[in-house]
């Protein structure tokens, strides 16, 4: 049966990881669209990635998580009936990413020296600041050939590839920490111990008219199901709910 997946982080580190993952997806998906129509989404996502990296020690967190992953992969390699080829591929990737991220100067800092991007970033920080009359240089860039535009975008994104690849690898293993289990809750409410949990993944049957909201931290969390409401925006769903839950 088809389902809708909701994910909720239980600490700030995973919150930043998920935020960056979504921003990278949005930016990269713009390459598959007409950039003249999707450039607002691309640059908004792209500059949000840079802002997130500037305001948080994402590189330091990624290095710590990759080091833990490398240690775990070495331990898992000793287990019987392990697929050594897949494990070795992930181990080589984690080691390579660690070497790249530990360089004194992150590659993405080169983006701050790009005058074209710097000008755009200042205007995108203002509400409605990216209009064509404020950024004629953007209009000029959009009128380059598709090949030139894609070359620029690939170049900009390549400077962020180390961060993107590390995120992808770490989140893949976090999501694989737990499998989905069926949960029944009364009155649309469920709570449990959050110790050791980084990420909650919730699957709700497609077509259900309710959705989960999560509150909590690494010690305890609660899930409350809500209904859209025209008068108040949302209201509690107080019926029995069956859903799938993975405590990663």
**What pLDDT, on the 0 to 100 scale, is given for residue 132?**
80
Q: Assess whether 111 and 18 both reside in one domain.
A: yes
**What pLDDT, on the 0 to 100 scale, is given for residue 200?**
97
Q: What phi and psi values does residue 241 have, to the nearest 5 degrees? A: -130, 135
Cβ-Cβ contacts under 8 Å for 110 (sequence gap 6 or more): 159
CATH code of the domain in which 115 resides: 1.10.3900.10
Q: Assess whether 145 and 98 both reside in one domain.
A: yes
**What pLDDT, on the 0 to 100 scale, is given for residue 134?**
84
**What pLDDT, on the 0 to 100 scale, is given for residue 211?**
94
**What pLDDT, on the 0 to 100 scale, is given for residue 149?**
94
Is 4 contained in some domain?
A: no
Is 6 contained in some domain?
A: no
Give the number of domains in the chain. 2
Q: Assess whether 150 and 48 both reside in one domain.
A: yes
Is 3 contained in some domain?
A: no
Please identify which residue in the block is written with the tokens 């239980």: 10
Domain containing 93: what range?
11-175
- Residue 224's H or E segment, with its range, is strand 220-229
CATH code of the domain in which 230 resides: 2.60.440.10
The residue among 141, 159, 175 that closes a domain is 175
Q: Assess whether 140 and 62 both reside in one domain.
A: yes
Whether residue 245 contacts residue 224, with contact meaning beta carbons closer than 8 Å, is answered with no
Q: What is the pTM of this model?
A: 0.93
Cβ-Cβ contacts under 8 Å for 47 (sequence gap 6 or more): 120, 121, 124, 125
**What pLDDT, on the 0 to 100 scale, is given for residue 205?**
94
**What pLDDT, on the 0 to 100 scale, is given for residue 128?**
79
Q: Assess whether 200 and 166 both reside in one domain.
A: no
Q: What is the pLDDT along the chain (248 residues), one digit of tens a residue?
A: 699 999 999 999 999 999 999 999 999 999 888 888 899 999 999 999 999 999 989 999 999 999 999 998 888 877 777 778 888 899 899 999 999 999 888 999 999 999 999 999 998 888 877 788 889 999 999 999 999 999 999 999 999 999 999 999 999 999 999 999 999 998 899 999 989 999 999 999 999 999 999 998 878 999 999 999 887 878 899 899 999 999 99
- Comparing C-alpha atoms, which of 32, 7, 28 is closest to residue 19? 7
Is 197 contained in some domain?
A: yes
């Amino acid at each position: 049966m088809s389902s809708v997946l909701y994910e909720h982080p239980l600490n700030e580190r995973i919150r930043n990881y998920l935020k960056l993952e979504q921003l990278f997806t949005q930016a990269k998906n713009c390459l598959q669209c007409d950039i003249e129509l999707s450039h607002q989404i691309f640059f908004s996502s792209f500059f949000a990635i840079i802002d997130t990296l500037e305001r948080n020690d994402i590189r330091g967190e990624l290095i710590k998580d990759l080091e833990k992953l490398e240690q775990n992969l070495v331990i898992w390699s000793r287990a019987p009936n392990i697929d050594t080829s897949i494990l070795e591929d992930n181990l080589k990737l984690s080691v390579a990413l660690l070497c790249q991220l530990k360089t004194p100067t992150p590659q993405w800092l080169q983006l701050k020296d790009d005058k074209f991007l710097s000008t755009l970033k200042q205007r995108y920080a203002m509400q409605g600041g990216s209009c064509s009359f404020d950024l004629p240089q953007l209009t000029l860039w959009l009128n380059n050939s598709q090949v030139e535009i894609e070359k620029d975008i690939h170049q900009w994104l390549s400077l962020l590839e180390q961060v993107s690849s590390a995120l992808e690898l770490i989140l893949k293993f976090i999501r694989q920490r737990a499998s989905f289990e069926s949960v029944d809750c009364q009155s649309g409410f469920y709570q449990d111990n959050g110790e050791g949990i980084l990420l909650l993944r919730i699957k709700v049957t497609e077509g259900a008219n309710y959705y989960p909201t999560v509150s909590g931290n690494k010690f305890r969390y609660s899930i409350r199901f809500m209904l859209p409401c025209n008068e108040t925006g949302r209201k509690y769903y107080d019926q029995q709910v069956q859903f799938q839950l993975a405590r990663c």
